[in-house]
Structure 1
Amino acid sequence: MEDGMETGNLSRKVISIAAGEAHTLALTGDGRVYSWGRGTLGRLGTGSESDQLLPTRVKFFGSDDEKEEKRKTVGIAAGAYHSLAITDDGTVWGWGYNVYGQIGANGEFSLVPRKLEGFLELGSPDSSTQDYELKSGKALKISSVKAGGMMSLAIDSLGGLWMWGNCPNYEQSKSPEGKFSLVSSSAPIPIWNFHGHTVVKVACGNEHVVALVSAEETYEGGDLICYSWGGNNYGQLGLGDNESRLQPEVIETFNLQSPWEVYEIACGASHTAILAKRKRPSDTLESFCWTFGLGDRGQLGHGTTKSFSSPEPVKGLPQSIFLISVDCGLFHTSVVSSAGDVWSWGMEKGLGLCPDATFNKEDAGDAISPLLFPCPDTRDSKFHSTLEVACGAAHTVLVSDGGLKLWSWGRGRSGVLGNGKTVDCYAPTLVLWPSLSDDFRDDESVEVRKKKIEETNPDVIDKRLSAAMEEMKLLESKLSITEKYASILHGSIYGRPFQEHDIPSSLKNSGSFDIAKEWENMLESSDSRKLARLEMFHRNMLRAVKDKLMKRKMEEMIRESLSQVLPELLNKRSE
């Protein structure tokens, strides 16, 4: 029973997310991959180009459930229009757009996941591959994947780096000209520059790459050096100029002697974001977000739209906080703190949306400094147990509650927000998670989960509030008419307007009303004038009733007589 419960929890727990131009990927604890959003070019891996408004499971072996159960995914990545996954056996899979070879296969695109064949035939960029395999008794495997733009990257179990798709022309650097260019390759290209060191993390934008590499041969925590290379038209390499590089170079702000220790990196199309903490011991655990590159839409968060070619800390964030995750969209950036605060900055209020007529003049405009995005589901406005944030071209996805909740906001077209709709959301909204697939139907019905999600949907809340207001107006109208009617009756009987103190105490206290008893009490408490007025009122009322009864009796007698006499008169006339 416990094993079954644990498996159930893992199937609902998201451990990683990735966002492309208009699609999103989620990886669960039991090794399954889900996708939603725009399906064009097969980027969802569902076997068709149809959009998916809700999380849908990606199957690697189609209808072969036995193979599916054996395969466990341990990593995911999303480029602009393609997706990658890595399994626990070190195999790399790709699907989606492939004109530049970014999924490592032949053809313009693939609607389903395809395995990258012959990935490590050349051996690791680290020449100790054979020694590693002999000593460990294990074959060299891929340990992580990353994607950005039309490019794909992978790190193997020795810390070697591989690159394929539309990449900086690494081989061109060996020629006398050495001019920057991009090259397309469906076969992974090994990057030999970091021989004798371990590549720990890597990120890429449209044309540039940033990597964290160990200072020593192996990495056991501690010093990491930050390198960058590729296109640099806007200073996105952080090297202090706008010259592109075909070979990795150290970003001096984060070199071995730097007081800063980098632990997270992210790349937008043409800008870069880095999380770093102080190396020296400190009483408070704090970190800073550094950004550089293109800043025309405020995506650097420096309070300006200028571009920066060297790393600068984002000053608009509170001090003494620890940032745990960062990601970059096309023109926006998002960070998350360990306390559950989420900030974004960049195009159209940090949403990444292009200027739209739905924004009024007061709300429109790029956020050139960080804006806080509060959680609509908690009193303290914080997202509890946050894990990771991911930015697409114009949408943002957040994992909270230890992986059991997903939030999204920004552009909603094609269902990229995963909430079952195609409208833009300017505030965090819940993704319909767990998925509506058969995997989750045993414990909770689809309708129940839909209802739970809808109850927290701002649109649904607004509609319910509007309906409640209309009902209140109707009740107020009925109450007003009732009060007017009661006042007229009361005035007719008692000769004065109805007042609240005229309501009998029994009706006030219990809601019930014994009319006989209350009539007796009223007669006992009334003075002579009130009794005389009541007598006159009832005498007049009784006289009117008697008159009405007499009139009706006379009408009945006349009708009865006519019914008897009229036939006789007609007979005589006919004779």
Structure 2
Amino acid sequence: MPKRPNLSSHGSKSDPYPSAGASPTPTAPGRFAAASASTIKSRTLLTAARTLPLLRVEHLRSTRGLNESFLAASRAALHSNKGASLRALAEEYLAYSGALRATYEPPGLTRVLTFGTGDCGQLGFGIEEDRDLMIRRPRTLHTLASASLLAAGGLHNLAVLSDGAAYAWGCNDDGSVGRPTAQRRVDEGTAKPDYTPAKVHGISAAAGDCQSVLVDSEGRVWVWGCYKDKEGKPIRDAPSPAGVRGKNELPVKVPMPLADGAKPVQVACGASFNAARTSDGGVQTWGLGECGELARPAGPLKVGEDYDLACIARQHLKPAAPVFAGPSASRYVKTIGAGGYHLLVVTVSPAAGYQTWASGLNNYGQLGLGDHDNRKELTPVEAFRGMNMACVDGGMHHSMAVSAEGELYAFGRGDSGQLGNTDEIPPSGYCEESPVPVPVACTGKLLQLACGANHNLVVTSDNEVYSWGYGDMSALGHGKDEDQFRPKKMLIEGAAGKAVHKIAGGGQHSAIILGGK
């Protein structure tokens, strides 16, 4: 088995404008009760008759929120400049309206395509045949149809179908696929629903190095797997400090300390932490914050040689709002993204307009702040001040951002072409990087963005997919095992006339949802 990469990756952007032993299962904030697999399944199973109207209600609610946010953003723009053009805002509104429709009214027939390295089953074709272990161009995963959500982790994936069934596949050593050790099957490298929370109708999904996270239409946050600390020891969400060591082989619900009526609506995963954007314009972070990626106070995991279980449970694993550097102000969180060990947040406010913030590990300048100092609070990326970023995402040591106008920016590490802005191959041992955002040339207006550990994918308004970065493991989908230093169009068989609904980049692989109009 290959050495596990330290990062997972994340899916494409979701709607940024909301409306204002046995693994433990949480039953109320702060309390968990052990439950069997059959009990969990019975608790999470929803009938179609109940779920479909609920999704329509959520679609209307989120559309109302989109309208309110568009109005607030327009007022902020005109307050700053009475002659400002609102065209970019209007185009963004239309783009996100379509994203909402895709989330709450999933497309009919779609297909999932995967490519890259699959020796741990992360491509979904099993591990018995050599031809299934390295796939150099996108190949259809026929076990999945009508998928609406997709996320790629370090060595695993998570998908949700339009009927609500959640599927996970790949390496399950740390519980990230959600199958109990005692019931693992020889085909765990294929896409099977098994013990993921079936029929909950997810609206946002993300995957980390060893964890999977799903937000459903009722605002519940489901997590399974574990977080790995710097020593590679597993830490998990648990009801009490005594239970934080180990992994959750079955999904658990993580209670969120939110105001009445607020719900999580978007989730992003780093290697060992999570962030959830909420419908009231806030954000919550939890997981392991050893490098400042939680953007809030979190003490060391150990005191001497012993783990401080109380600190881990209360300061790391308990969801809480991050801290923004500088004077407090009214900010609405528009969208979020996560890299391996860093957090990216985009906000809008009447006073300051648009702003992108970053915190966490900064050893290659992946925070875009012009230096290499780590941050433990969300710090403004000055290069993006006043710029309306539609989506942000991060890889192991690099970050990407797409503006509302569809322009692409990159910062951080680039020795394998991650930054997409050079034609020259760096000499061996040389590490190219940019601690400030640099523009990246890519044909067409960009609508979606996804970062893998050391590679990237984007989707244009013409439904073309481009990829670049580290290519030795075939995760770029170009048919060759070589790095790509500029965005290159991917040739996808049968893609003509089909919409690209989602893209996802993992540690050594990538995935796409294709289909519909």
TM-score of the pair, normalised by structure 2:
0.64
Query: Letter of the aligned partner of 2:403 in structure 1?
Result: S
**Structure 2 letter corresponding to 1:54:** R
Quote the sequence identity (%): 25
Q: Tell me which of 177, 190, 195 is aligned to 1:112.
A: 190
Q: Does 1:392 align with 2:449?
A: no
Q: Does the C-alpha gap of structure 1 residues 20 and 287 become closer, same or farther in structure 2, counting only changes over 3 Å? A: farther
Report the equivalent of 1:73.
147
- 2:332 corresponds to 1:261: yes
Query: Whole-Å Cα distance in 1 between the matches of residues 10 and 359 of structure 2?
Result: 26
Q: How does 1:70-109 map to 2 (within 5 A)?
A: 71-106=145-180, 107=184
Q: Is the Cα contact below 8 Å between 1:101 and 1:166 reproduced in 2? A: yes
Distance 1:341 1:363 in 2: 28
- Take 1:366 and 1:419, find their aligned partners in 2: how far apart are those partners? 24
Q: Which residue identity lines up with residue 201 of structure 1 in the other structure?
A: Q
Alpha-carbon distance change, 406 to 22 in structure 1, aligned in 2, over 3 angstroms: farther
Corresponding residue for residue 209 of structure 1: 274
For the structure 1 residues 327 and 140, does the alpha-carbon distance in structure 2 shift closer, same or farther, using more than 3 Å as the test? closer
2:247 is matched with: 184
Does the CA-based 8 Å contact 1:20-1:79 persist in structure 2?
no
Report how far residue 191 of structure 1 moved.
1.1
- CA distance in 2: counterparts of 1:247 and 1:160, whole angstroms: 15
Offset, 1:160: 0.8
- Tell me the residue number matched to 1:56: 139
Q: Secondary structure at the match of 2:213?
A: strand
Structure 1 residue 340, shift from structure 2 partner: 2.3
Match of 2:296 among 239, 254, 277: 239
SS at match of 2:169: strand
Listed one character per residue, the Cα deviations across residues 18-64 of structure 1 (whole Å, up to 9, x for unaligned) are: x996999899954211111111211111234421111111121xxxx
Alpha-carbon distance in structure 1 between the residues aligned to 2:454 and 2:372: 18
| Other structure's SS at 2:248 match | strand
- 3-state SS of 2:256 partner: helix
- Aligned residues between the structures: 365
- Distance 1:364-1:206 versus aligned 2 partners, 3 A rule: closer
Q: Which residue of 1 aligns with 2:469?
A: 410
Question: 291-300 or 46-55: which moved more?
Answer: 46-55
- C-alpha distance in 2, partners of 1:149/1:204? 8
Q: Judging changes above 3 Å, is the alpha-carbon distance between structure 1 residues 149 and 314 closer, same or farther for their aligned structure 2 residues?
A: same
Matches within 5 A, 1:487-566: none
Cα distance, 1:169 vs structure 2:
3.1
Using the TM superposition, give the Cα deviation of residue 442 of structure 1 relative to its aligned residue in structure 2, in angstroms.
11
**How far is 1:422 from its partner?**
1.3
Query: Taking structure 1 as reference, are residues 312 and 350 closer, same or farther at Cα in structure 2, changes over 3 Å only?
Result: farther
Q: Shift of the alpha carbon at 1:252?
A: 3.5
Paired residue for 1:336, among 384, 391, 402? Answer: 402
Q: Is the 8 A contact 1:349 1:365 kept in 2?
A: yes
More strand by share: 2
Distance in 2 of aligned mates of 1:359 and 1:388? 28
Cα deviation 1:431-467 (Å, max 9, x = unaligned): 11xx22xx56999xxxxxxxxxxxxxxxxxxxxxxxx
Report how far residue 362 of structure 1 moved.
Answer: 13
Q: Judging changes above 3 Å, is the alpha-carbon distance between structure 1 residues 419 and 350 closer, same or farther for their aligned structure 2 residues? A: closer
Measure the CA separation in 2 of the matches of 1:442 and 1:203. 30
The structure-2 alpha-carbon separation of the partners of 1:369 and 1:170, relative to structure 1 and needing over 3 Å to count, comes to same
Q: Deviations over 1:255-276 (max 9, x none)?
A: 9x74221121122221111111
Q: Are 2:416 and 2:470, in contact at CA under 8 Å, matched by a contact in 1?
A: no
Task: Indicate how the Cα distance of structure 1 residues 150 and 362 shifts in structure 2: closer, same or farther if over 3 A, else same.
Answer: closer
When residues 182 and 272 of structure 1 are mapped into structure 2, their CA distance, relative to the original with a 3 A threshold, is farther
**Match in the other structure for 1:427:** 486
Residues 495-541 of structure 1, C-alpha deviation per residue, up to 9 Å, x if partnerless? xxxxxxxxxxxxxxxxxxxxxxxxxxxxxxxxxxxxxxxxxxxxxxx
Aligned to 2:310: none
Is 1:38 matched up with 2:117?
A: yes
For residue 414 of structure 2, give the secondary structure of its aligned residue in structure 1: helix
Contact 1:20 1:392 in 2 (8 A): no
Asked whether the 8 Å contact 2:156–2:171 carries over to 1, the reply is yes
The AA in structure 2 aligned to 1:57 is T
TM-score by length of 1: 0.58
**1:24/1:429 CA distance change after superposition, 3 Å:** farther
Q: Report the CA distance between 1:315 and its aligned residue.
A: 1.6
**Equivalent-residue separation in structure 2 for 1:308 and 1:276 (angstroms):** 18
**Structure 2 match to 1:508:** none
SS of the residue aligned with 1:54?
strand
Does the Cα contact within 8 Å between 1:336 and 1:342 map onto a contact in 2?
A: yes
Deviations 1:109-150 (A, max 9, x none): 722101034736xxxxxxxxxxxxxxxxxx853333211111
Pick closer, same or farther for the CA change 1:367–1:242 going to 2, 3 Å: farther
**Structure 1, residues 163-197: CA drift from partner, whole Å, max 9, x if none?**
0011453325x34x79xx55311210111234754
Question: 1 CA distance for matches of 2:324 and 2:347?
Answer: 11
State how far apart, in whole Å, the 2-side matches of 1:156 and 1:271 are.
25
- Alignment partner of 2:237 out of 162, 170, 186: 170
Q: CA deviation at 1:230?
A: 2.0
In the TM superposition, residue 372 of structure 1 has moved relative to its aligned partner by 1.1
Larger radius of gyration: 1
Out of 282, 290, 296, which is 2:357 matched to?
Answer: 290
The one of 328, 331, 349 equivalent to 1:278 is 349
Q: Deviations over 1:332-363 (max 9, x none)?
A: 0000112221111111369449xxx9414998
Alignment counterpart, residue 230 of structure 1, candidates 287, 304, 310? 287
SS at match of 1:43: coil
Quick one: structure 1 residues 308 and 56, their matched pair in 2 at CA, closer, same or farther if it must change by over 3 Å? Answer: same
SS of residue matched to 2:295 = coil
User: What residue is the counterpart of 2:439 in the other structure?
Assistant: 372
Question: Judging changes above 3 Å, is the alpha-carbon distance between structure 1 residues 23 and 416 closer, same or farther for their aligned structure 2 residues?
Answer: farther
Larger relative contact order (C-alpha < 8 A, sep ≥ 6)? 2
Q: Secondary structure at the match of 1:58?
A: strand
Q: Is the 1:147–1:153 Cα contact (8 Å) retained in structure 2?
A: yes
Inter-partner Cα distance in structure 1 for 2:497 and 2:362: 49
CA contact under 8 A between 1:352 and 1:393: conserved in structure 2?
Answer: no
Query: Does the 8 Å CA contact 1:23/1:36 hold for their aligned counterparts?
Result: no
The whole-number CA distance in structure 1 between the counterparts of 2:378 and 2:367 is 10
2:380 corresponds, among 313, 317, 333, to 313
Aligned counterparts of 1:231 and 1:348: Cα–Cα separation in 2: 26
